[in-house]
Amino acid sequence: MNKREIHAKGGAADRLSAPAGASHLMGRFGDQLVPAIFLIALVITLSLVSPNFLSVGNFLDIARVVSIIGIMAVGMTIVILTGGIDLSVGSTFALASVVAASLIPGSFSDAPRILAFVLPVPFAILAGLLVGAAVGFINGFIIAKSRVEPFIVTLATMAFVRGLTYLFTGGFPTIFRPMPPLFEWFGQGYVFGLPTPTIFFALVVLIGVWITRRTTFGRSIYAIGGNEEASRLSGIKVQSIKIWAYTLMGALAALSGIILASRVGAAQPTAGLTYELDVIAGVVIGGTSLLGGRGSIMSTVLGVFILGVISNGLNIAGVPTYYQYVVKGLLLISAVGFDSYLRKMQRN
Amino acid sequence: QEMKTIGWSVAYFDHPVYQLMMKGAEKVADEAGCKVIFADGKDDPSVQASHIDNFIAQGVDGIILTPTVSDPLIPAVKKVNDAGIPLVMADRRMQTHGQPIKWEALVSWDMVKSGTIGGEQTVKAIGGKGNIVVVEGTPGAGSTIDRGNAFYEVIEKYPDIKILAKIPANFNRAKGQEVTENILQRFKPGEIDAIYYMADEMTFGGLQAIKAAGRLGEFKIISVDGQKEAMDLLRAREIDYEAIFHPDDQAVAVRILCDIVNGRTPDLANQTYEGRKMDLVEFEGMPWVRPTVYAVDKSNAHLPENQGW
Amino acid sequence: MPAILEMQDIEKNFPGVKALRGVTFTIESGEVHALLGENGAGKSTLMKILAGAQGKDAGQIRIDGRDVDISGPLHARQLGIAIIYQELSILPHLSVAENIFLGRLPRMASMPWIVDWKLCCARARELLKQVGLDIDPLIPASRLKVADQQMVEIAKAVSENAKIVIMDEPTTSLTNREVETLFKTVRRLQEHGVSIVYVSHRLAEVKEICDRATVLRDGMKIGTVNVAETTSKDWVKMMVGRDLDQLFPKMPVKRGKEALRVEGVSSQKLKNVSFSAYEGEILGIAGLIGSGRSTLARTIFGAEARVAGSVNIGGKEAAIASPLEAISQGIALVPEDRKLQGLVLPMTVRENITLAKLGGISRVGQLNLRRESKVAAEYVQALQISTPHIDQKTINLSGGNQQKVVLAKWLYSDARILIIDEPTRGIDVGARAEIYGLLQQFVEKGKSVIIISSDLPELIGMSDRIIVMHEGRITAELAPSQFNEELIMTYASGMSH
Amino acid sequence: MQAQSKAAAPLAVPQFNGLRSTLLARGGHQLIIIALIIIVGLAIYWIQPRFLSAYSIDNILRTASIYGIVALGMTLVIITGGIDLSAGSMMALGGALAAGLLGTAFGAANPLSFPPMVAILIALAVAASIGMLNGLAISALGMAPFVVTLGMMTVVRGLTFIFADFTVGSVPGSPITFMDSLFSWLGSGSFGPIPTAAALFLTLAVILSIVLRFTPFGRSIYAIGGDAEIARLAGINVPLVIVGVYALMGMLAGLGGVVQAGRLSSVSPLMGVGYELDIITIVVVGGASLAGGRGTVFGTVLAAILISLIDNGLTMMNVPSFYQYLVKGSVLLAAVILDQWYQRHRAAMATA
Ligand SMILES: Nc1ncnc2c1ncn2[C@@H]1O[C@H](COP(=O)(O)OP(=O)(O)OP(=O)(O)O)[C@@H](O)[C@H]1O
Ligand SMILES: Nc1ncnc2c1ncn2[C@@H]1O[C@H](COP(=O)(O)OP(=O)(O)OP(=O)(O)O)[C@@H](O)[C@H]1O
Ligand SMILES: O[C@@H]1[C@H](O)[C@H](O)CO[C@H]1O
Ligand SMILES: [Mg+2]
Ligand SMILES: [Mg+2]
């Protein structure tokens, strides 16, 4: 008898021009649609331009390379969803990797040792992860309690933690003589034919997706980023959720750093310099808003793959260095530009 | 009498080359009776220009400069000259471009020569013909330019050598690995005869990729710097050629300058560091104390001086 | 009278919603024309099209008989159209003066590229005085109360010397006093031949100030009537499509135990406030704007700090220092500002409804989305929220429907004590009745409700008891026999009886 | 929190009630920076008395000015709620173009040769145009400023390399090195007792602060940063303002590059790598909010001085490089937390 009942049942009232189901689907995957199409188009173009691009081996390389940035980007997505940002990831990446490496049996550095003991590989890795989590916790704690902009807080820790890393290493890399097999596996191994970094990345993504979509923690993250005050008034533990988000970010930066140390066979104090931009770029290209509250882990996965495919493809296609810069930048802008334009059109 | 102070603006700190060099410098300074203060140039000439201003303001007795890029520091060197402070250039050279600037001495291993050696080794490795790939340093960095130029100059003399690709990996291990993976995807077995890496760091990453792809031994690998790790790899036949130097040799810059600021005449012709003797040549009409670069391959890798740093 | 504005066959679609379906709307010179309709009927959309804020999909607009194609807000202004949007459009960290003249700051006569701040200030002061605000125009707008910000919006619209002034629910945050000032302003404009479109859900206001009324339903025009010749009952029938029997379903419920006791609560704005609320009771709180009603609610809820005093729940002192603790003690607060405090706008209807009780749709931290959808659908139906589906983002809902989502959220939370700050702000008559019904059901279950409202008929119609506040103090507690608007206003103004 | 932090912000409200109330109303933050400048300055002076030499001050002012000129542009961008990551690259391009177009670089191989003034103007025009493209992508396509300018950062770096190679012929990646009196005057010369760069910086700062406070364009920038939709509804031409702001940003970055080029008599195509973060830091320390709507030119000027004072002072005091990171991180954090605490405290006192 009146429209309201019909609305409430979610059926197709004559005023609704699209059935709820379809728009529900669009709402779910609409965000990823355009970036995904762009990625596919990119892959097709690159395959046509250079036949060597399209091979299982190359795709595995891409998957492995993007994993390092990708693991951090999952954490960064969560942080950005809360309306924050973390610039210290590159430094955390380095600190965790040098600490973990220095604890691994067989590690060697020209600098005097700071920690005079070694641990079995899993514990050394765990120690590295804890260092990363601790940095993240400090970021989160200061951000949640002081209300200083996350940009500045993490900019400060970026410098501070880099300094710690230099002091810890004396500026020297830590190498392995030899590298314990378990640690070697950590970054260089294979599981079911897939490189371990990719496996870790996939796991992190799965967990990230589960957290953001299926847990109260994830829901709270979106809520805080969407409207912090309303969230607080709804009884959400804003401070502790923020602290957790940054702690998770720190641990993931550490994981990534430790994997890279294994992969390249050394932990370096300069590791991860400027990674923050790459990581944030991956998140933002995927479509997650820096303002918080809007975006998803799957978008980020697309974002880091877009970045990875561009830089891999340009090298494989043999584009000369300086032109690579130009093309890379233009591709990046068009990857997002097209999506933004469509959205803007849709809004009007 | 009060101990003289020397300010040293180093290109950047976070590289083993410079860590060793500074360690050596501390030692030399103790022996020579001078105090050195180091400033981190952070790979940015404008930061180094500020260092120079600060050193002048602090009233240091002598200045050592390791210019991250040569040309942008010409005005800074002019200021040092105007202030009458003795100056020694170290590790990286600087061109005057005909400007009225001067320094007491340049103490630097020969970046150009390192490139020339690399070129010659590459030619030798592939017998004067074949296809090579060059993994370059940071685009625009002094070492990339100097080393690269000298390298390409040698290669150009051999029309049968084709450079398939020049790809930068920014003197960075991870990047070296990534770029090498790309190279291996792009060029199938048999298509490459040698890869020249413009620094050991990139070689280390590259080797990981090569080994992971199971393509070790398929082509020659030529590298430069002579880190211990690299020399071990050379002996293990994973790297075929190295150009090695000893970064800490360059610490004699402190000894030379310390002599000058204390009114002694430095013996430029007979500088040694840990028993290694250095050449005295000329660059830009000024003295160049030149620690040697050694070409190393499997034939001489076992020698004690070729153990790396 | 000549038609100054004709909108003809206006169509507007949003993804999933046909907001306007061939609406024709005409206003005459110098009339005050009400635009009525349920939440989501399309009133704001129609007005936004007129103001150039949104494009239309089809239809014509004629002003003074000439076809115009309104290209944007600036163009609309040039055509003599001014608007007060339903949602405040104040920039909080700019000064009040600058907010008034946003986008059209007065320039120096000699240097037209330089803003004449002196003039700006002087004119702002004058305009503010006209709407009864005696404030320094240079203070940032963020320091004003919502009601005062609304008055600034009114000053802004007046200052444009427009031929047509649109007011989209201008009184939702105002009490009688400000409403009177507004009406004075409206009449003055009318005397100057200005036409006014007045959108409101307060039908008494329409009766008082409007000449004609147009009713929309489901994006269609139902009709235009003369206000003097019809009653609000007729309009409601046009809006809802049926007769609405009773607005206030008030039935006495047996008063139970004391549910909440506030004792000597003081803070910067509150002075020694004490009162009790009982099970089965609806307690009303009256007061002028700024009297501390919202602050009191926020303080009880742990959203604002208290300096002294205690809050007792069920006879036991409750240490409430945060909203989370309040919620766990069974208190809920529907805040007065839905945009800033109520909703997470980029989230969906479903997600907003469950936000305050995620525990209800999860187990060990893991969400049960199916259960959540069921809960959301139930509340969408119970409150008759007009949305294409439960996964619509709340930012896309009409104002009234947004308010219902906030209510739904707190009804779903297991509160035993529900505090509602301005419960029906922007809510249409039909839905109001439903909400009152829900509150009635709520107390019938032995829970207690505290209503803060500037709408005195609502307060009188729903409350079992009313306390009146003035400048942070309670000045009176009234039993039903004492309920009358004048008496309440007397206490609210601080005059003793 | 939103409401509270906004209320505590330095206000973008013109005030005419004299210095005292101006400072109190708006300048709490700026007072803190001034206090920090004095404290840090005294601390350095205490440890290293030579810190107050003309050389040192000259150096601080020059460094502050080069960063500062670019930071002025970034201030406008950040007030709109945007960000420009291409600033560092744009400096390099501006410097390289101006220097390269002189045609007098050592080893110059290109046929172009313009008088210095013309070369500089062309460089600034190009930088402004690229900034305009940023602005267009942001306003017309509705793209996030972060992504647009991140892409542009790479594009412009590439163009700089290409142009430098075009200029200096054989050696890829070489710096463009030249001698020119106008450039040297800009970068290393003095204007009376003040370094030219500082005079230029302060002049620009004054002009921009007038623009921000007293012109409709300037006010629109604040309005857009407050809420772009509200600004649009108020009839402000948002895309035009955005394009204008990014064009100005591009031009100022280019100018910063030109001054830097003058100081070093040379432009490495790597000039300004990573500067974008330093410049954003200056603007944020100066009191602007990355959320937009807040920020002042004066704050940016002070922050530029403070930061180059710290950088310089740490070197003057011979703090070992690796510890400098710790000190800088701590000082930065301490400063903002102190400020935050003060602002909250002040807000509480104001309402009392
Ligand atoms: N931007 C938008 N995107 C999607 N749907 C929208 C948008 N704006 C409005 N709508 C829908 O259009 C319809 C009309 O909304 P409108 O705001 O005009 O209603 P209204 O009559 O003003 O209601 P209220 O009395 O609640 O303010 C509603 O169903 C609303 O959900
Ligand atoms: N820290 C805060 N954060 C968010 N909102 C606040 C804060 N402090 C006060 N408010 C709200 O700002 C509004 C304006 O303050 P105002 O003085 O009008 O409240 P009030 O005295 O409670 O008035 P009223 O009696 O009309 O509700 C109030 O609704 C108040 O609840
Ligand atoms: O000498 C060093 C090394 O070759 C290093 O690899 C890069 O910087 C140079 O200065
Ligand atoms: Mg409406
Ligand atoms: Mg209130």
Interval D121-151: pLDDT, tens: 999 999 999 999 999 999 999 999 999 999 9
pLDDT value for A113: 84
CA angle A238, A239, A244 (to 5 degrees): 100
C221 — pLDDT class (breaks 50, 70, 90):
very high
Final residue belonging to a domain, choices C191, C207, C241:
C241
Instruction: Choose among C441, C315, C264, C325: nearest CA to C449.
Output: C441
Do A72 and A93 touch, CB atoms closer than 8 A? yes
Q: Work out how many domains chain C is built from and give that number.
A: 2
Q: What is the mean pLDDT of residues C193-215?
A: 95
**Which residue's CA lies nearest to atom 24 of ligand 1?**
C39
pLDDT value for A23: 47
pLDDT value for D31: 86
Q: What is the mean pLDDT of residues B298-306?
A: 90
DSSP annotation string for A104-126? STTEEESSPPSS-----HHHHHH
* A22 pLDDT more than 60: no
Q: What is the mean pLDDT of residues B302-307?
A: 89
Q: What percent of chain C has pLDDT over 90?
A: 77
B185 or A11, greater pLDDT:
B185
Do C146 and C169 touch, CB atoms closer than 8 A? no
Residue A170 forms part of a structural domain: yes
Residue A302 forms part of a structural domain: no
Q: What are the Cα distances from residue C75, in Å, to A305, C68, C71, D231, D235?
A: 45, 10, 6, 14, 8
**Which residue's CA lies nearest to atom 6 of ligand 3?**
B199
- A268: containing domain: 55-272
Q: What is the mean pLDDT of residues A152-170?
A: 95
Question: Do residues C321 and C377 share a domain?
Answer: yes
Ligand nearest to the CA of residue C39, numbered in listed order: 1
Q: What is the H or E stretch that residue C259 is in?
A: strand C258-266
**Which residue's CA lies nearest to atom 1 of ligand 3?**
B17
B143 touches ligand 3 (CB under 6 Å): yes
Question: Do residues C284 and C197 share a domain?
Answer: no
Is the Cβ pair A65, B181 closer than 8 Å?
yes
Report the CATH number that the domain containing residue C486 is assigned in CATH: 3.40.50.300
Cα dihedral across residues D313, D319, D324, D327: positive or negative? negative
Do C7 and C55 touch, CB atoms closer than 8 A? no
Minimum mean pLDDT range among B105-114, D167-176, D305-314: D167-176
Report the CATH number that the domain containing residue D199 is assigned in CATH: 1.10.3470
* C421 pLDDT more than 90: yes
* Distance of residue C487 Cα from the nearest chain A Cα, in angstroms: 34
Residue C131 forms part of a structural domain: no
pLDDT value for D4: 35
Question: Do residues C348 and C446 share a domain?
Answer: yes
Q: Work out how many domains chain D is built from and give that number.
A: 1
Minimum mean pLDDT range among A2-11, B145-154, C307-316: A2-11
* A24 pLDDT more than 50: no
What letters, b where the CB count within 10 A reaches 16 and e where it falls short, cover B22-32?
A: bbbbeebbeeb
Give every CB contact of residue A183 below 8 A, 6+ residues apart in sequence: A104, A121, A124, A125, A176, A262
For B229-250, write each residue's pLDDT tens digit.
Answer: 999 999 999 999 999 999 999 9
Is the Cβ pair C73, D232 closer than 8 Å?
yes
A12 — pLDDT class (breaks 50, 70, 90):
very low
Q: What is the mean pLDDT of residues D223-237?
A: 95
Q: Counting runs of H as helices and runs of E as strands, what totals does chain C give?
A: 16, 22
Residue A134 forms part of a structural domain: yes
Residue A105 forms part of a structural domain: yes
* Distance of residue D190 Cα from the nearest chain A Cα, in angstroms: 34
Pocket test for ligand 2, best of C90, C144, C145, C301 (most atoms within 8 A of CB): C145
pLDDT value for A206: 98
pLDDT value for A70: 98
Chains D and A touch (3+ CB pairs under 8 A): yes
C216 — pLDDT class (breaks 50, 70, 90):
very high
Residue with tokens 């390249």: A264
Spatial distance between the Cα atoms of A196 and A203, rounded to a whole number of angstroms: 10
Question: Do residues C342 and C228 share a domain?
Answer: no
Q: What is the mean pLDDT of residues D320-328?
A: 90
**Which residue's CA lies nearest to atom 4 of ligand 2?**
D3
Which residues are close to ligand 5, an ion, with C-beta < 5 A?
C 294, 336
- D311: containing domain: 53-351
User: C338 C-alpha to center of ligand 5: Å?
Assistant: 12
Mean of per-residue pLDDT scores for chain C:
92
* Distance of residue B165 Cα from the nearest chain A Cα, in angstroms: 7
Closest partner CB to D312 (pick from B54, B73, B138)? B54
C263 — pLDDT class (breaks 50, 70, 90):
very high
Q: What is the mean pLDDT of residues B288-308?
A: 91
D321 or D157, greater pLDDT:
D157
pLDDT value for A147: 81
Which residues are close to ligand 4, an ion, with C-beta < 5 A?
C 44, 86, 399
Tell me the three-class secondary structure of D133-158, residue by residue.
Answer: HHHHHHHHCCCCHHHHHHHHHHHHHH
Spatial distance between the Cα atoms of A78 and A90, rounded to a whole number of angstroms: 17
pLDDT value for D341: 79
Residues of D in contact with B56 (CB under 8 A): 55
Q: What percent of chain C has pLDDT over 70?
A: 99
Is the Cβ pair C342, A17 closer than 8 Å?
no
Chains B and C touch (3+ CB pairs under 8 A): no
In the structure, which protein residues have their CB atom closer than 6 angstroms to any atom of ligand 1?
Answer: C 14, 17, 19, 37, 39-45, 86, 386, 396-401, 426, 428
Residue A300 forms part of a structural domain: no
* B198 pLDDT more than 70: yes
Residue D176 forms part of a structural domain: yes
Per DSSP, C169 falls in state: S
* A20 pLDDT more than 80: no
Pocket test for ligand 3, best of B107, B108, B225, B309 (most atoms within 8 A of CB): B225
Ligand nearest to the CA of residue C289, numbered in listed order: 2
Q: What is the mean pLDDT of residues A44-52?
A: 91
Residues of A with CB under 8 A from a CB of B: 50, 52-53, 55, 57-58, 61, 64-65, 68, 110-111, 166, 170-173, 175, 188, 260, 263-266, 268-271, 312, 315-316, 318, 320-322
* A210 pLDDT more than 60: yes
Specify which residues C115 forms β-bridges with: C107
Q: With 0-12 CB in 10 A as exposed, 13-18 as middle and 19+ as buried, what is C136?
A: middle
- C61: containing domain: 3-90+144-241
Alpha-helical (H) ranges within chain D are 2-7, 18-26, 28-47, 54-79, 87-102, 116-140, 145-168, 181-188, 196-214, 216-226, 228-233, 238-264, 275-285, 297-316, 321-351
* Distance of residue B205 Cα from the nearest chain D Cα, in angstroms: 24
Token output for B160: 């049968």
Residue C76 forms part of a structural domain: yes
Q: Work out how many domains chain A is built from and give that number.
A: 1
Question: Do residues C429 and C338 share a domain?
Answer: yes
Q: What is the CA radius of gyration of chain B?
A: 20
Is the Cβ pair C386, A214 closer than 8 Å?
no
Question: Do residues C328 and C445 share a domain?
Answer: yes
pLDDT value for D49: 86
**Which residue's CA lies nearest to atom 23 of ligand 2?**
C290
pLDDT value for A3: 36
CB of D352 within 8 Å of any CB in chain C?
yes
Residue A247 forms part of a structural domain: yes
Closest partner CB to A16 (pick from C17, C242, C328)? C17
Amino acid at the residue D18: G
User: D188 C-alpha to center of ligand 3: Å?
Assistant: 30
pLDDT value for A257: 98
Q: What is the CA radius of gyration of chain A?
A: 22
Residue A76 forms part of a structural domain: yes
For C45-93, write each residue's pLDDT tens digit.
Answer: 999 999 999 999 999 999 999 999 999 999 999 999 999 999 889 999 8
Q: What is the mean pLDDT of residues C163-191?
A: 93
Token output for C461: 């119609």
Residue C440 forms part of a structural domain: yes
Residue A164 forms part of a structural domain: yes
